[in-house]
A and B are shown apart, each in its own frame.
Chain A
Amino acid sequence: GQNIDQPTEMTATEGAIVQINCTYQTSGFNGLFWYQQHAGEAPTFLSYNVLDGLEEKGRFSSFLSRSKGYSYLLLKELQMKDSASYLCAVRDSNYQLIWGAGTKLIIKP
Chain B
Amino acid sequence: IAGITQAPTSQILAAGRRMTLRCTQDMRHNAMYWYRQDLGLGLRLIHYSNTAGTTGKGEVPDGYSVSRANTDDFPLTLASAVPSQTSVYFCASSDSGGANIQYFGAGTRLSVL
The answer to whether A and B come from one shared complex is: yes
Q: How many residues of B contact A (CB 8 A)?
A: 18
Residues of A within 8 A of B103 (CB): 45
Known: A42-B105, A42-B106, A43-B90. A99 touches B42 (CB 8 A): yes
The reply to whether B101 and A48 contact each other, CB–CB distance below 8 Å, is yes
Choose among B42, B58, B107 the residue that contacts A100 (Cβ–Cβ < 8 A): B42
Whether A4 and B42, one on each chain, are in contact in the complex, defined by CB atoms closer than 8 angstroms, is: yes
User: By the criterion CB–CB under 8 Å, are A97 and B45 in contact?
Assistant: yes
Does B43 interact with chain A (Cβ within 8 Å)?
Answer: yes
The answer to whether B102 touches A97, judged by C-beta atoms less than 8 angstroms apart, is: yes
Contact B45 A41 (CB under 8 A): no
Give the chain B neighbours of A50 by CB distance below 8 A: 99
A contact residues, total (Cβ < 8 Å):
21
Q: Which of A31-52 contact B (CB under 8 A)?
A: 31, 33, 41-45, 48, 50
Q: Are A31 and B99 in contact (CB under 8 A)?
A: yes
A44 to B90, CA, bound (A): 12
Docked Cα-Cα span, A4 to B99, in Å, equals 19
Tell yes or no: B68 within 8 A of A by CB. Answer: no
Closest-by-CB residue of A relative to B31 is: A95
Q: Can you list 26 A-B contacts with CB-CB less than 8 angstroms, sorted by A residue number?
A: A31-B99, A41-B107, A42-B104, A42-B105, A42-B106, A42-B107, A43-B90, A45-B101, A45-B102, A48-B99, A48-B101, A50-B99, A87-B42, A87-B43, A91-B100, A95-B100, A96-B45, A96-B58, A97-B43, A97-B102, A99-B42, A99-B43, A99-B44, A100-B42, A101-B41, A101-B42
